[in-house]
Amino acid sequence: RPVIHAAPSVRRLARELGVDIAQVRGSGPAGRVSEDDVRAFQKGGS
Amino acid sequence: MDFDVLVIGAGPGGYHAAIRAAQLGLKVACAEMGAVGGVCLNIGCIPTKALLHAGETIANTRHAADFGLSYGPATLDIAKMNGWKDGIVKKLTGGVAGLFKANKVTHLVGQASFIDANTVKIGDKTYTASSFIIATGSEPATLKGLDVDQVAIVDSTGALNVPDPVPARMLCVGGGVIGFEFAHIYNNLGSKVKVIEFLPNIIPGADADAVKEFGKIMKKQGIEIVTRMKANSAQKQADGVHVELENVETGEKTTEVFDRVLVAVGRRPRTAGLNLEAAGLKATERGFIEVNTRMQTGVPHIYAVGDVAGNPMLAHKAMKEGLVAAEVIAGKPSEQDAVAIPGVVYTSPELAWVGLTEQEAIDKGYKVKTGLFPMSASGRAMTLQSTEGFVKMVVEEGTDLLLGVHIVAAHASDLLGEAGLALEMAATASDVALTIHAHPTLGEAVLEAAESVHKQAIHIVNR
């Protein structure tokens, strides 16, 4: 499993929204994934 | 159905699963054939930590002379120490029973055995449930030729009962976490302790530099450590236990005599009596029940957590998995997705780590940078008479992402909380370095190790 650079609560949010966090490109330093990144990815619908 | 969830086993994994499932509104039962609290509370984590504290306190009376505090000859009432330890265990297991009651978890007493995938037999009664969580734990692995009698030849359970007088000569077979914690206890209580390890290194899984430092300190405290050595047989005779030792590399055999021999060569998962086949399950060759990250077995409504579900066999891993299983059953999108599971050896100083070792990071293809801060440069460590060890940080070059933290220090286990959070939050070494740590504290060594990654530590010369 690849290492996901996201806080535990962000990873949980992704699961709740049905988003595969491994697909989300992080906008933070060192590619960290934020809650907004997860929500934007979901809205993008891809 | 009698229950929404029936948890089998009331160890850390099982009682966490049962309580969380009840918190989420499910009708829960927890079956336990022994004492609630399982191995950790009864014959594992808790009693060993009590004895380690007792041993450390004795050692501290000697160090106190450095600042002018002297005692008469220290006397240890071993029966009282064992009783004090047992009292803590009783209080904590009673606490779990109380939590079951408060959360309306039905406590079923006895060995559970599957009749089919929705029914278990406990004693002469049968119970049905929509979901099951198997949390049956593990037991000490045995060694051919060394028959445990729990008096002269003991496993970790027998070693918890310190005999009076303390054994003069003690052998620990196995240089892992359990072996070293007992070696440390008995060494502090006055035994002459020898640890033998089959592998080239002690404490497998820990960072090589940290293990080297740890071994050096343990030797300085008087523990003899021999690697690449195994015990072939042990015979009780009038003058003690005669143990045949064999050098794994040369094949050379010697016989040494000890008063007590601890066999601590690992643990194996426990599924005996469960009748897994009736539920449509099969353990792996090594005895584990395979699960996915939602803790589901091959039979989707049956879950497995803790030692029985795979390595590492650690209480906090079982606890987390218990929560995940309960939450998944309650319909939550929970998953065992921890970045890192911390490991601790509760000696003094402690060895504790979380995340990747330097070698693991290199093997995974990371370009690695490390930072190191010695406790000898920590003011707080000096005031605590505990200046041995260091904090080592493993970081990815370029991104500055934290990959692992390895600590040999007093209270390393507590310092590890910060490191674990940092790893889970995907923190960089800069994030740690930019966080104000209270002064003077041992935790500053974590900050300074992060600074040292960038060659900017203040209290050491950066090279």
What is the Cα B67 distance to its own chain's centre? 34
Say whether B180 counts as a known binding-site residue: yes
**Total Cβ atoms within 10 A of residue B340:** 20
pLDDT band for position A1 (50/70/90)?
Answer: very low
Strand order in the sheet with B260-263: B153-154, B260-263, B169-173, B192-197, B224-227
Among A residues 3-42, those touching chain B with beta carbons less than 8 Å apart: 3-8, 11-12, 15-16, 29-32
Chain A positions in Cβ-Cβ contact with residue B400 (cut-off 8 Å): 30
* Structure confidence at residue A40 (pLDDT): 96
Distances (CA, A) of A45 to A9, B330, B373, B424: 21, 28, 47, 27
Residue B97 CA to residue B91 CA, distance in Å, equals 10
pLDDT band for position A45 (50/70/90)?
Answer: low
**Total Cβ atoms within 10 A of residue B62:** 12
Cβ <8 Å between A15 and B339: no
Residue B12 CA to residue A46 CA, distance in Å, equals 41
Task: Say whether pLDDT at B227 is over 90.
Answer: yes
Longest Cα–Cα distance in chain A: 25
Q: How many CB pairs under 8 A join A and B?
A: 29
Write the residue in A3, A12, A30 that is nearest to B339 by C-beta: A3
pLDDT band for position B71 (50/70/90)?
Answer: confident
Tell me the pLDDT tens digit for each residue of B134-157. Answer: 999 999 999 999 999 999 999 999
Longest Cα–Cα distance in chain B: 70
The chain-wide mean pLDDT, for chain B, equals 97
Write the residue in A5, A7, A15 that is nearest to B401 by C-beta: A5
Sign of CA dihedral B35, B38, B39, B40: negative
Q: Quick check: A44 contacting B, CB < 8 Å?
A: no
Tell me the pLDDT tens digit for each residue of B118-137. Answer: 999 999 999 999 999 999 99
Write the residue in B334, B337, B428 that is nearest to A30 by C-beta: B428
Task: Say whether pLDDT at A2 is over 60.
Answer: no
Tell me the pLDDT tens digit for each residue of B155-196. Answer: 999 999 999 999 999 999 999 999 999 999 999 999 999 999
Task: Say whether pLDDT at B457 is over 70.
Answer: yes
Cβ <8 Å between A8 and B337: yes
Chain A positions in Cβ-Cβ contact with residue B426 (cut-off 8 Å): 4-7, 30, 32
Tell me the pLDDT tens digit for each residue of B230-286. Answer: 999 999 999 999 999 999 999 999 999 999 999 999 999 999 999 999 999 999 999
Cβ <8 Å between B425 and A11: no
Chain A positions in Cβ-Cβ contact with residue B424 (cut-off 8 Å): 7-8
Cβ <8 Å between B426 and A16: no
Q: Nearest chain B Cα to A15, which residue?
A: B333
Chain B positions in Cβ-Cβ contact with residue A16 (cut-off 8 Å): 333
Say whether B337 counts as a known binding-site residue: no
Tell me the pLDDT tens digit for each residue of B283-330. Answer: 999 999 999 999 999 999 999 999 999 999 999 999 999 999 999 999
Cβ <8 Å between A30 and B400: yes
Distance from CA of A45 to the nearest CA of B (A): 20
B16 is catalytic: no
What is the Cα B353 distance to its own chain's centre? 12
Cis before B140? omega within 30:
no
Substitution target from A19, A21, A27, A32 for chain B, most B beta carbons within 10 A: A32
Q: Nearest chain A Cα to B431, which residue?
A: A29
- Is residue B202 a contact partner of residue B180, using CB atoms and an 8 Å limit? yes
Say whether B307 counts as a known binding-site residue: yes
Tell me the pLDDT tens digit for each residue of B415-450. Answer: 999 999 999 999 999 999 999 999 999 999 999 999
Cβ <8 Å between B426 and A11: no
Q: Nearest chain B Cα to A13, which residue?
A: B333
pTM of the model as a whole:
0.96
Cβ <8 Å between A11 and B337: yes
* Structure confidence at residue B306 (pLDDT): 98
Task: Say whether pLDDT at B73 is over 90.
Answer: no
Q: For chain B, how are helix, strand and coil distributed in percent, rounded to 5?
A: 35, 25, 40
Task: Say whether pLDDT at B386 is over 60.
Answer: yes
Tell me the percentage of chain B whose pLDDT exceeds 70. Answer: 100
Cβ <8 Å between A5 and B424: no
Write the residue in B333, B401, B426 that is nearest to A7 by C-beta: B426
- Is residue B363 a contact partner of residue B348, using CB atoms and an 8 Å limit? no
Question: Looking at residues B16-31, what average pLDDT do you find?
Answer: 98
Task: Say whether pLDDT at A31 is over 60.
Answer: yes
- Which of B242, B439, B454, B459 is labelled catalytic? B439
Nearest to B457 by CA among B378, B399, B386, B394: B378
Residue type, B221: Q
